[in-house]
Amino acid sequence: MGSVYARTFGPGEPLYAGPMTATPPRDVTPTEGQRMVQEGALLVDVREPAEYAEIHAEGALLVPLSEFEARYSELPKDRDLVMICRSGARSARAGQYLLEHGYKDVVNLAGGTLAWAEAGLPVGGGNP
């Protein structure tokens, strides 16, 4: 039986609590993530709207972690998903949640939006 984790995204509210059996999503570099998006993957940003407005990877779809349990089913199961947040921790949690719920092609962008911007990849919003 897998370990039990309670992942929080807000004041005392769990993203998911229960047996975690899925392996966490594989980490990819910003360059690899961008290549995957260019080849048809969907880039999913799980940060909150204010963070997204400040700066985001160009083309990223915003599905805030605070709404993730209610909205994850909006994400296609037949398309590669590249998960991103600020630094990679929240997106890894969201990616594992997707894997727990039947998604197969999910990766985590290591270093998140910070690494994406540092790599000089296209961004929208304000300044980093």
Q: Any idea which residues carry the catalytic annotation?
A: 85
Whole-angstrom CA distances from 54 to 62, 86, 102 are: 13, 11, 32
All residues at 6 or more sequence positions from 32 whose CB lies less than 8 Å from its CB, including other chains = none
Q: How far apart are CA 47 and CA 33, in angstroms?
A: 17
Cβ proximity of 94 and 86 under 8 Å: no
Q: How far apart are CA 100 and CA 95, in angstroms?
A: 9
Alpha-carbon dihedral 53, 7, 111, 36, rounded to 10 degrees: -80
